[in-house]
Amino acid sequence: MSSSARSSYLMRAGLVRNVRSAEHLTTFVVSGVATVLVTRLILSLSGYPQIGGKGLHIAHVLPGGLLMLVAISLLLGYVGPVVRPAAALVGGVGFGLFIDEVGKFVTSDNDYFYQPTAAIVYVVFVLIVLASRFLATRRPIDPREQLANVIDHAVEGVAGGLSRRRLAQASEQLRQVGPEVAGRQQTRELLAACPADEVELAAPVDAAWRTIQRGFDRLATHPLAPRVAVVVLVIQAIGAPVIAAGVRFDNGVFTDFAVLGVVAGSLLSATFTARGAYQLRKKNRPRAIRLFELAVLVSLLVTQVFQFAGTQFAAVGGMLLDLVLLGLLGAERDRLRRQETEAAKAKTWGLPPDSSRPPFPEDPSDPV
């Protein structure tokens, strides 16, 4: 079955992808990982207190399950895109409280301090990220799916009105839908019919992501950004095996297999880094960025797994560094892709791209 046929079948079955699914899954994973780390820190500082008494112990997996129930209730009880960022955040916190106690679920003596717990938690979150990336990138977003996401915005606007910011988001998505797609004109008219209303639910998650994105965009365009990325990747590729060997030498926490895993991951990351630096010198920036992303992904999916297996949550620093690098490289990749798209459009029309002109009309009240 071809990709287009499979896509049509899934949409006919009601499985229409959310264009912001990667963003929501990232919120879920970040809040979950942060919850695990904060929970471990608080319990360590407080001496691992027992909540309950008289034979009872209220494990934090219980409030975790309650928060996941709240997230599911939000998604089932409300329509429109507004509630999803909050549900992703609440659900991530709940899942973090749940997965933090995985050591109790996989050991016969309910050992919360089971040493492989950190690696298990890390692998679970990595698998969630990989699954979300697979679903988002296995095939391009179909124009009909894009239109369905625009209508999702209109659902909110029909009932309570749309702010200028929400209307601008919906209009931008609508511009990516060709006129040949059935329902586009009707959707345009529906958006135009939505009353204006600047009152909207506070969305701190959206605001935080916009701030982070702007920060990544600024850092990615800095002249020294590529060189700094190369230096950081090299230091990390060298430092990870040194740390692994040091821990193994000091207290024998690492097994030989874990040390070999760290070394193998570091060597593979170093290979991609060297190839990326070579492409950078050849002025092939898009290829260099892709190779640097592969270096970071190898570190996240191989090196850090073995680091967590041996040092447990002490490997968080390396993971955070990888995530920052991945965010910077992703911002640069998106910027290069936008430049390529604008150049292609300019070539089609025979005109040079005008950087001073916004890509869309400045008045968001006109939903193209």
| pLDDT tens figures, 244-295 | 777 665 555 556 677 788 888 889 999 999 999 999 888 888 888 888 988 8
| pLDDT at residue 62 in the model | 92
The pLDDT tens digits of the residues spanning 143-180 come to: 888 888 888 888 878 887 888 888 888 888 888 888 88
Report the length, in residues, of the chain.
368
Residue whose C-alpha is closest to residue 306's, from 366, 363, 365, 256: 256
Q: How confident is the model at residue 64 (pLDDT cuts 50, 70, 90)?
A: very high
The pLDDT tens digits of the residues spanning 213-236 come to: 788 888 888 888 888 888 888 888
Q: How many CB atoms lie within 10 A of CB 316?
A: 19
Answer yes or no: is pLDDT of 43 > 80: yes
**Dist. CA 135–CA 14, nearest whole Å:** 15
**What is residue 351's three-state secondary structure?**
coil
**Dist. CA 365–CA 43, nearest whole Å:** 51
Q: How confident is the model at residue 208 (pLDDT cuts 50, 70, 90)?
A: confident
| pLDDT at residue 310 in the model | 66
Q: Do 333 and 286 meet the contact criterion of CB atoms below 8 Å apart?
A: yes
Instruction: Name residues whose C-beta falls within 8 Å of residue 349's C-beta, 6 or more positions apart in sequence.
Output: none
Instruction: List beta partners, residue 56.
Output: 53
Residue whose C-alpha is closest to residue 301's, from 264, 246, 254, 259: 264
**Which residue in the block uniquely carries the two structure tokens 């926490």?**
253
The pLDDT tens digits of the residues spanning 323-336 come to: 788 888 888 887 88
All domains in the chain, ordered by first residue? 16-137 (no CATH), 143-196 (no CATH), 214-341 (1.20.140)
Q: Where are the alpha helices (DSSP H) in the chain?
A: 3-12, 21-46, 61-77, 83-99, 102-106, 117-137, 143-160, 164-175, 184-193, 204-220, 225-251, 256-281, 285-298, 304-311, 316-349
Task: Name the DSSP class of 300.
Answer: I
Q: What does the radius of gyration of the chain's CA atoms come to, in whole angstroms? A: 24
Q: How confident is the model at residue 16 (pLDDT cuts 50, 70, 90)?
A: confident
Answer yes or no: is pLDDT of 350 > 60: no
| pLDDT at residue 338 in the model | 75
**Dist. CA 220–CA 190, nearest whole Å:** 38
Q: Is the dihedral of CA 83, 84, 87, 89 positive or negative?
A: negative
pTM higher than the cut 0.85: no
**Dist. CA 157–CA 167, nearest whole Å:** 8
Residue whose C-alpha is closest to residue 205's, from 357, 356, 82, 116: 82
The pLDDT tens digits of the residues spanning 76-87 come to: 998 878 888 889
**Which residue in the block uniquely carries the two structure tokens 């390396």?**
318
Instruction: List beta partners, residue 52.
Output: 57
Q: Which residues of 142-175 are buried (b: 16+ CB within 10 A; e: fewer)?
A: bebbbbbbbbbbbebbbebbbbeebbbbbbebbe
| pLDDT at residue 65 in the model | 94
Distances (CA, A) of 259 to 50, 95, 115, 117, 312: 36, 30, 16, 18, 14
Q: Do 298 and 233 meet the contact criterion of CB atoms below 8 Å apart?
A: no
Most confident of the following: 286-290, 319-323, 356-360? 286-290
Residue 160 carries which side chain, given as an amino acid letter? G
